[in-house]
Amino acid sequence: MVSAMEIYMLLPKTNCKKCGLPTCMAFAVALLGREKKIDECTPLIEEKKYEAKLKKLREVMAPLESASETGLIIHPEKCFGCGNCVVACPVNVAAEPTRCGVGLGPQGEKVILRVEDGVVVCNNVKECRRFGPNKVLCNACTATCPSKAIEFV
């Protein structure tokens, strides 16, 4: 996963404020939080000397595009389908206490994470604790993954 510092190293680092933010570091953090887009950094797009940096930046930002609204990225090729995240997710447990709570797979449609065809899939993103402006930085699903198949931006 790319860090804010890595993104910052690929920005012009001039603090020109054209993007509306006070520093390039703030812009890097906003990029990672998906509040800003690369195109909003006009010097990076327009000036030729930043061409290589722009190309690299688009490369490192590409995996983030597949992330859900809560920033959850699933790598299905790494997933074991063990269901640790399904059982650990507090929203899943609240939705189906008699199933997810005791380790069984969910039956209803209210859960966020479930295992389908051997790999984990994400539904009902709006129910996630990380959704919206009042989000809680819950990491129950990523901390319990044995293969790092799920991660947050």
Partner 1 sequence: MAICTGCSLLCEDIELTVKDGDISHVRNLCRKGHGHYQALLTERARPMIDGKEVALDQAIAKAAEVLHSSKAPLLCGWSNATLEAQTAGMSIAKKLGASICDTSPPCLGALMERIISGRIPTCTLDDVRNFADVSVFWGSDPSNSHPRHLSRFSYYPRGEKRQKSYEEERTCIAVDVRKSATATLCSNYYFRMQPGGDGEFIESILATLDGRIPKFGDKKRMIELGTILRKAEYGVIFPGIGMLYSLQNRLELFETLLAKLNEIATFKVVPMVERFNSRGFYQLLHAPGNSLAAAAKGCDAALVVGSDPLAELPLATARALARVPLIVIDPHRSLTVDAASVVIPSAISGMEAGGTALRTDGVKISFEPIIESDLPSDEQILAKILEAI
d(CA 122, CA 81) in angstroms, rounded, equals 13
Of residues 118 and 133, the one with the C-beta less far from partner 1: 118
Q: Strand, coil or helix: what is 101? A: helix
Q: Where are the beta strands (DSSP E) in 22-152?
A: 72-74, 113-116, 119-122, 150-152
DSSP 97: T
C-alpha torsion angle, residues 138, 142, 143, 149 (rounded to 10): 180
Q: How far is the CB of 142 from partner 1 (least distance, A)?
A: 12
> What residue has token string 């890097």?
28
With CB under 8 A as the contact rule, the residue among 118, 133, 134, 137 that binds partner 1 is: 118
Residues 54-93 that bind partner 1 (CB under 8 A): 79-84, 86-88, 93
Q: Considering only CA atoms, which of 74, 67, 65, 71 is closest in space to residue 117?
A: 74
Of residues 24 and 86, the one with the C-beta less far from partner 1: 86
With CB under 8 A as the contact rule, the residue among 125, 144, 152, 153 that binds partner 1 is: 144
With CB under 8 A as the contact rule, the residue among 20, 22, 33, 103 that binds partner 1 is: 103
What's the chain's length in residues?
153
Does position 116 bind partner 1 by CB under 8 A? yes
Of residues 18 and 75, the one with the C-beta less far from partner 1: 75
Which residues are near partner 1 by CB under 8 A? Answer: 79-84, 86-88, 93, 99, 101-107, 114-119, 144, 146-147
